[in-house]
Amino acid sequence: MIGMQRKTSFGKSLLNNNSPKAIKYMNPKTENTQSPRPKYNRNFQNSKNGSVRTFQRQGTPHTQSNNTNTIHATIKHPANSNPLHSNKIDLNRKKLNKGSYQYGSNKGNRRPKAGTPALKNTITTPRKKQSNIPHPLPGVIRIIPLGGVEEIGKNMTAIEIGNDIVVIDAGMQFKTEDTPGIDYIIPNTTYLEDNKDRVRAMLVTHGHLDHIGGIPLVMSRIGNPPLYSRNLSILLMKKRQEEFSHLPALNAHVVEKDSVIYAGEMRIRFFGVTHTFPDSMGIIIETPYGSIVTPGDYKLDQIDGKVTPEEEKEYAIFDKEKVLLLLTDSTNIENEGFSLAEVKVHEGLEKVIKQVSGRIIISAFASSITRLMKIVEIAESLGRKVILDGRSLKTNMEVCEQADIFKPKKGTIIPIDDISGYPPNKILIMMTGAQGEEFAALGRAANKTHKKFSIQPGDTIILSSSIVPGNEIAVQHLKDNLSRHGVRIVSYRTSEEYIHATGHGNQEDIKWLHRKTHPKFFIPIHGWHSMLVKHKEVAMSIGMSGDNIIVPDNGSIIEIVDEGSKMILRKEKAPSGPMMVDGFSVGDEQDVVIRDRVMLAQDGMFVLIATIDSATGKLRKSPDIISRGFIYLKENQELLHQVRLIIKKTIEDDTKGFKPMDFDTIKTDLGDNISKFLFQKTAKRPLVIPVLLSI
């Protein structure tokens, strides 16, 4: 029997075949029966519509026999369907020919926890072709932002001079509404993979996930070059690497802000910057025409607009530096003035904590390490014991202890199991979950599902973080659930004291950096396109020529030519489609899989199972129908009756006079007819899956 195997967003196959052998992309014996898989635009909104997909179980030839049962399975998209942006339905769409294409979801199990043996056959989505972009000419400096210039996150930029390439950062971006079910997104590595023999180094500015989240997977794909960063960042990356035991160990080297390294022919220096992550650093790459400078994420250490002497000293290197190109953060370019100094937040938190007589629960970004260490210091000064609850929070603080920058007194941090042994005014709990994450520590406590901790009336909850765009509803639900416990909630919007500040510079911080570095050319990075455009406008407002500024897209190839006198944007682009990490699957060719998940989430699926007599071409019995997320079958018997009549008529029309039966045509016609009928009756577009059994 020829069967069907398709992994779905539910993590199970549509038919009973969960064998790992069935995950293989295409059965060699059936490959010649399928027409080639079409190319897709990597923009989900512009993906090709109205396609048929055929799936067959691995290791079974595509044959028909009167002595065997045969299953033919097709997924049929409704006419002109676009699961993201489409309101039009063409019911007279041209019928597809019987050629079909095949794909595999490559949906493996989730990444193993640290210490778990990795699968030997890690599933990845293969790249179709190389980027075929010529190397830069002698004397030309090439800059390619591969991520982080059309979004917040997955920052990565390649600098190419002669025969040498260095890569700055390799971050991740969390999944969005457009990418359901995936784990996260990393920058596209195709260009670097094609040139991995010339990648000399990976330089990491600091240890936040939008700069290091992609390191394990990116490094393994680009040849695992030497990696350079400061100590705390290196330790965090090694900790993250433990979750990928099947990948090579990092070739990591610790540098400090006064270090000098060579990557091929490039001479590279570093400098310290202020950020919510200790040990953050900027990078200076020397070229024959001047230096390329990027500070990574930064803000100024200043009070009321006056930069501290320590900060002035750190940036004094640029007083005499000839800066050819500046690449810098645009995250807060829309915020006027200077960003709030972190020291103000420390003072505000101390005042709030001192005013509370009962238990205190503080939730902040686990990546705001400087603030978290200060909270522990404040608790110690007030004689409070500290409980850390949340995996990422514990991990970060443990790594800080290992790096010798966090030194709590013995007995300050206690296990959550010991909380009952201390009076409420001697307890401070630090929890993850300020963004309303359902399974984070604070969310579980609010929902009464935390196994070791219960919120009590009179507790004070301090939310020391801003709300990430898109999380507003989740945070509101969190606050509602917390309020039902009779607690007092203090947020950055309601507190009279400063309890949160951004880690990125506002407009005045950014202008100060531009004036200090006085670059000849400028490329804004780290932000949405509108932010980059605004950054260009700000740079021009302080005297920079618009001709010397290029606002890039992901994959833009920018070159400094004519001995450093001109900056141009090449017409070619490096591959920049999102590399989606989906279990063990990593690739930029998963548009079809993601689109199906969106369709399933929006309109569900409708499976038709029809048994055909191979001798007569008639139905052997009434078709079986399975609906998931579309309609409730028991309440729509009349609709199902009409569907069965359409199935019967379609099969009889398509088998009349045909020997042997053309199952491709039958499946295509069934998909067309049922899709149109269901849309006419319900105004919904479920994923229609005809399954034919020939007996």
Residues belonging to the active site = 329, 504
CA distances from 627 to 562, 633, 667, 679, 688 (A): 64, 7, 18, 15, 9
With tokens 């457009």, the residue in question is: 178
Read out DSSP for 382-413? TT-EEEEESHHHHHHHHHHHHTTS--PPTTSB
d(CA 467, CA 488): 19
Which residue's structure tokens are 């020829």?
A: 2
Phi then psi for residue 649, to 5 deg, are: -65, -45
The Cα–Cα gap between 185 and 587 comes to 10
Residue corresponding to tokens 């420390």:
346
Q: What are phi and psi of 441, to 5 degrees?
A: -60, -50
Q: How many CA atoms lie within 13 A of 32 on its CB side?
A: 3
Write the single-letter amino acid at 163. Answer: N
The number of beta carbons lying within 10 Å of the beta carbon of residue 413 is 18
Residue 2 · residue 56 · CB < 8 Å: yes
Q: How far is CA 681 from CA 85, 233, 643, 644, 677, in A?
A: 21, 57, 11, 14, 6
Identify which of 549, 539, 524, 560 has the alpha carbon closest to the alpha carbon of residue 289. Answer: 560
Q: How far is CA 578 from CA 38, 147, 148, in A?
A: 18, 9, 11
Q: Looking at the DSSP assignment, which residues form a beta bridge with residue 559?
A: 142, 568
Cα–Cα distance between 639 and 585 in angstroms, integer? 39
AA letter at 363: S
* Residue matched to tokens 């850390």: 388
| Phi and psi at residue 546, to the nearest 5° | -65, -25
Question: What strands, in cross-sheet order, belong to the sheet with 227-229?
Answer: 252-254, 227-229, 199-203, 164-168, 156-161, 141-147, 556-561, 566-573
CA torsion angle 583 586 588 594 (round to 10): -10
| Alpha-carbon span 437 to 693, nearest angstrom | 45
**Distance in angstroms (rounded) separating the CA atoms of residues 179 and 593:** 10
* CA atoms within 13 A of residue 413's CA, in its CB half-sphere: 17
